[in-house]
Amino acid sequence: WAQDAARNDSGQLTVGGIPVSELQQQYGTPLFVMSEDDFRARARAFSDAFNNAFADICGGVDVYYAGKSFLCTAVVRWVEEEGLRLDTASGGELAVAAKAGIPGADVALHGNNKSDREIHRALDMKLGRIVVDSLGELVRVGDIAQRRGEQAKVMLRLTPGVHAHTHEFIATAHEDQKFGLSMAADTTEQAGLSAAEEAVAAASAHPGIELLGLHCHIGSQIFEPDGFALAAQKLLRFLAAMQEKYSIVLPELDLGGGYGIAYTPVDTPRPASEIAEAMAAVVRSTCAELGIDSPRISIEPGRAIVGSTTFTLYEVGTLKTVRVDAPAADASDAGNNVTYPRRYVSVDGGMSDNARPVLYDADYSAILASRTSAAGPQLSRVVGKHCESGDIVVRDVYLPEDVAAGDLLAVPGTGAYCWALSSNYNYLARPGVVAVRDGSARLIVRGETEEDLLNRDMGV
Ligand code: LLP
């Protein structure tokens, strides 16, 4: 939950003091309700945690907010005002950055398949860094920049063989994925040579490229610092070896994003300060062991900044209760099924505004937001209105027995990868996003109308 979300005296959920019923009246549902104050506070807190931990190592950390998690021009301005930079992953995201007016020097561009147009756009905007994902792309970026009489500022994305899988990480070579340059030997035509080293050599020799340093990203929704620390250590060792072998200086190291948040009470991510300290300890000791100065460190958090700032407001429609047959929980009772009721609570959105339950089996929670209730709890499944039985918003949640059509539900933790992944499935219009600051609300992204959708139908 956003820090300024709370129930008022009449039991209604409010954000920055504004009751959800007012938001519904003004903007309709479904609606993404975002606390700008909370966003700014989290951006500052995250940035402070890392800057404090790394202050004596490399003078601090550059924090690039990962725009893929949620992006619009308002957010770009908040990010900039709070002293963060911006990470983008496509020409479209660059267009938002440009529209918001953030200096190109504070923007990074990612992507495993950048088009020439995107590369030109990055150069037009004089981006601070283009994160190159493959050797072919490196040559393409270098050649385009050279033809323009420029040098592209490039980071190389490496796969350090540390792959975070949800709450854990697997420290084995995770090469079988589309991103990045492998650090494993023999991943090129030349015996013993890794793709990563081949790219370092090619980048430092290319007249169209200024090689800034190395990058990695080990996964997302990670709770523990170990994976980040191990990746940092591997990249530092490689960086030192490359500096020595090619007599170059690689002044920057980006350790990516992936810092997790709590969606439900079972999620227990470590606080940013703890993760930052653990990473800093490893960077400090590895640099000492290698006898090098630490490169400037940067990170790319998305979810950890925006995820908890937002809840989705839905209106309840249809309800039905079924009886579920399930194996008895008690082993001595094996073979005897128990039955229990499950109530389906349908809301006016669903997988089109939150694809994460369907895509990743993600868990969320929900509360009755428009009022409190003295009624007892009932096991409920919050579902959407799409033509799929998998269209689940919250798999299992206890909601008051008297929840009825017209009630409002709020699902917290929907700031990251919900609006961003939204679709028009079943011709549903994508919801708008409202930002609340200092007790007043404003639309930062307008919801789509039926007309928006029909306008794209050529009618021929
Ligand atoms: N940097 C790079 C290179 C990335 O690929 C990502 C996320 C981030 C930073 C930001 O990661 P974050 O701090 O937000 O975890 N749709 C999925 C998550 C996909 C993440 C893709 N890359 C989900 O909803 O869980």
The pLDDT, as a whole number, for residue 238 is 98
Which atom of ligand 1 sits closest to the CA of residue 362?
Answer: 25
Q: Give 304-336 pLDDT, tens digit per residue.
A: 999 999 999 999 999 999 998 887 777 777 777
- Check 72, 216, 287, 387 and give the catalytic one: 387
pLDDT in tens, the chain (460 residues): 999 999 999 999 999 999 999 999 999 999 999 999 999 999 999 999 999 999 999 999 999 999 999 999 999 999 999 999 999 999 999 999 999 999 999 999 999 999 999 999 999 999 999 999 999 999 999 999 999 999 999 999 999 988 776 556 665 546 778 899 999 888 888 988 999 999 999 999 999 999 999 999 999 999 999 999 999 999 999 999 999 999 999 999 999 999 999 999 999 999 999 999 999 999 999 999 999 999 999 999 999 999 999 999 999 999 999 998 887 777 777 777 888 899 999 999 999 999 999 999 999 999 999 999 999 999 999 999 999 999 999 999 999 999 999 999 999 999 999 999 999 999 999 999 999 999 999 999 999 999 999 999 999 9
pLDDT at 165: 65
d(CA 384, CA 395): 11
Per-residue model confidence (pLDDT) at position 51? 98
Nearest CA to ligand 1 atom 6: 257
- State the DSSP code for 184: S
CB 345 within 8 A of CB 399: yes
Beta bridge partners of 109: 88, 130
Residue with tokens 């990563």: 196
Domains and CATH numbers, the chain: 5-35+308-455 (2.40.37.10), 60-301 (3.20.20.10)
Residue-level pLDDT at 173? 45
The residue whose CB lies within 8 Å of the most ligand 1 atoms, and thus the one to mutate among 131, 214, 220, is 220
Residue 301 assigned to a binding site = yes
Work out the mean pLDDT of the chain and round it to a whole number: 95
**Tokens 């660059």 belong to residue:** 94
- Whether 418 sits among the annotated catalytic residues: the reply is no
Query: Is the CB–ligand 1 distance for residue 217 below 6 Å?
Result: yes
CB burial of residue 119 (10 Å; 0-12, 13-18, 19+): buried
Helices (H), 191-327: 195-205, 226-246, 272-290, 303-306
Distance CA 288, CA 277 (A): 16
At residue 94, the pLDDT reads 98
Ligand 1 atom nearest 307 alpha carbon: 14
**Hey, what amino acid is at 149?**
G
Determine the residue of 69, 130, 163 to mutate for testing ligand 1's pocket, defined as the one with the most ligand atoms within 8 A of the Cβ atom. 69
| Res 168: pLDDT | 62
CB-CB contact of 352 with 425 (8 Å): yes
Burial class (CB in 10 A: 0-12, 13-18, 19+), 219: buried
85-98 in b/e burial notation, b at 16+ Cβ within 10 A? bbbbbbbebbebbb
Secondary structure class of 39 (helix, strand, coil): helix
Q: How does 328-355 read in b/e, with b if 16+ C-beta sit within 10 Å?
A: eeeeeeeeeeeeeebbebbbbbbbbbbb
- Cis peptide preceding 30, ω within 30 of 0: yes
- Rounded Cα distance between 161 and 169, Å, is 10
Give the sign of the dihedral formed by CA 34, CA 70, CA 397, CA 266. Answer: negative
Q: So what's the pLDDT on residue 148? A: 98
Residues in a beta bridge with 274: none
Structure confidence at residue 170 (pLDDT): 64
DSSP output for 415-431: TTTTSTT---GGGPPPP
Q: Is the ipTM here above 0.90?
A: yes
Residue 412 known to bind ligand: no
pLDDT value of position 174: 63
Centre of ligand 1 from the C-alpha of residue 371, in Å? 35
Ligand 1 within 6 A of CB of 256? yes
What burial class does residue 199 get, using C-beta atoms within 10 Å of its C-beta: 0-12 exposed, 13-18 middle, 19+ buried?
buried
Question: How many CB atoms within 10 Å of residue 81?
Answer: 10
CB distance 279 to 228 below 8 Å:
yes
Nearest to 299 by CA among 377, 225, 194, 371: 225
Distance separating alpha carbons of residues 414 and 417, to the nearest angstrom:
7
Task: Give the model's pLDDT for residue 325.
Answer: 84
In this prediction, residue 161 carries a pLDDT of 87
The pLDDT assigned to 11 comes to 96
Three-state secondary-structure class, residue 377:
strand
pLDDT tens for residues 123-138? Answer: 999 999 999 999 999 9
CA quadruple 18, 20, 23, 25: dihedral sign: negative
Using alpha carbons, select from 133, 238, 119 the residue that is nearest to residue 178. 133
Beta carbons of 211 and 158 less than 8 angstroms apart? no
Ligand 1 centre from 417 Cα, in Å? 8
Nearest-angstrom CA–CA distance, 40 and 58: 24
Report pTM: 0.96
